Structure 1
């Protein structure tokens, strides 16, 4: 393991300001009148605004106004809106983690990780609107990564393999979380769950989708599976579960091959 002689304070200087503030090492500028706010208070208010009105509604002016201060007052704590977004993103990841399970329950543990991550996107719909700037480096983000690694700790995997599995599951959680978030938004705006299943269009599609033009899709449409016509088992939630179980199956097969020494070179 490479040795690193940096002090926490020296390390903080290498991070974006918003991330360094999240770690608690960087101090915001001290100029101006007596400080009467806190970074946590500002971030909490910004999240309240974003949860209610979306990420575009978050501005330094609005956050300051709702706290009873001027925008310039906020800049003495958080130097820029980009820094505020980083702090909001990290704060949204401060969720309670389930107790650690026995090692043989690794599938359940990874399932909890994926569903917990999806929950962040649903609880804070704006979360997925913040662009990905790089690997997670803020404290709560890293706590989530550490959570994902927990059931992999004693597996016969090297560090690269462990992180690749976390990346695979994180990507699935992100895409599923944003899909579910968009459905939540649409339903809140007046749409219905049936609109997403396509149930209302089942008869029309069965008349329009001909086997000559859509030879592979036609039998799926006619069976009712395409528009979830048959029953309630084919909803988005269960689609997510099905895909996740297949990913876990793949991980399990890979572990079996590792244990028997039959992995590809």
Structure 2
């Protein structure tokens, strides 16, 4: 394939973008990719991801499993489309929330709400970023929140991944406790007190002195949201970094040293080469800052004097 050639889309991705060819003939009008995905999501919401199969979806719709394969040719594609449907897209309220921090916090909250509405999505193995419309919309909303900052696109993407990761982790914990509440018939405070009692019975000061101290302090009975606290502190640090970037005084991101580089990390010439890369990145950031300033000045000139002749 040449560099200019368009990649061949996997069937599931093509279906998500609505560019896959539909079957020429179908068993009935009631059968469609959308209806199949809707039925599969209903099963997953009621019974979990493990209950979803082509046979179960077909039975729910009143068709044979083979009829489904005319529309969705593999279960992996069906799972992808289910994830796309359940994830949805961020609301307009995210972009209207305020500054970069308020927008990212709104994005975080909406992602958690989505995880709680469809917790089975968290059971789908991560195998890269799904290149689907809704997933792209979430990433675009996160990048939009940071569009007016002086962060590079790589840094903006890293922040978006941090927020999404925090939402996924918090969502998995909240969804797990919600499941416990349903299965045990206990409310959240009761579960919390039960867990604290177990900690107090099993964790000794001799074996786990710091953990025992936290237990004695009542840390496991605290009703505040530890995930919101951690996100806030992370955003505090990102805010400091954004301010430093605006003033041109932050250090460039250090390239990741992989396992293959660990054995040469102390090599003098290698260190010099890495320093040269960091210096070049610093110069590039300064040039980009100058470009942004000139662009702003150009817009002000145009607004004042009109387009150049």
**What are structure 1's unaligned runs of at least 5 residues?**
none
Q: CA 1:44/1:202 → structure 2, altered by over 3 Å: closer, same or farther?
A: closer
Is the 1:115–1:173 contact (alpha carbons within 8 Å) kept by the matching residues of 2?
yes
1:194 lines up with 2:181 in the alignment: no
**In the aligned structure 2, how far is the partner of 1:102 from the partner of 1:44?**
31
The match for 1:242 is 229
Q: 1:190 to 1:65 in 2, by over 3 A?
A: same
Q: Does structure 2 retain, via aligned residues, the 8 Å contact 1:30–1:76? A: no
Seen in structure 2, the aligned counterparts of structure 1 residues 133 and 28 have a Cα distance that, compared at 3 Å, is: farther
After TM superposition, give the deviation of residue 95 of structure 1 in Å: 4.0
SS at match of 1:189: helix
Aligned to 1:118: 112
Aligned residues: 248
Deviates more, 1:209-218 or 1:70-79: 209-218
Partner of 1:149: 143
Task: Report 1 or 2 for greater relative contact order, CA contacts < 8 Å, sequence distance ≥ 6.
Answer: 1
Q: Deviations over 1:171-191 (max 9, x none)?
A: 111111111111111111125
Whole-Å Cα distance in 2 between the matches of residues 172 and 28 of structure 1? 38
Task: Let me know the Cα RMSD of the aligned residues.
Answer: 2.3
- Give the whole-Å Cα distance in 1 for the aligned partners of 2:28 and 2:217: 69
Give, in whole Å, the separation in 1 of the partners of 2:218 and 2:30: 61
Q: CA deviation at 1:243?
A: 1.2
- Indicate which of 102, 105, 114 corresponds to 1:108: 102
Which of structures 1 and 2 has the bigger CA Rg? 2
Aligned match of 1:258 in 225, 241, 245?
A: 245
Query: Cα 1:180–1:220, aligned 2, differ >3 Å: closer, same or farther?
Result: same
Equivalent residue for 2:158? 164
1:101-146 CA distance string (max 9 Å, x none): 376x221110110111111111001101111121230111111111
TM normalised by structure 2 equals 0.73
Residues 108 and 167 of structure 2 are in contact (CA less than 8 Å); yes or no, is this contact kept in structure 1? yes
More helix by share: 2
Structure 1 residue runs of 4 or more that deviate by more than 6 Å after TM superposition = none
Shift, 1:154, TM fit: 1.2
Provide TM-score, normalisation by structure 1.
0.85
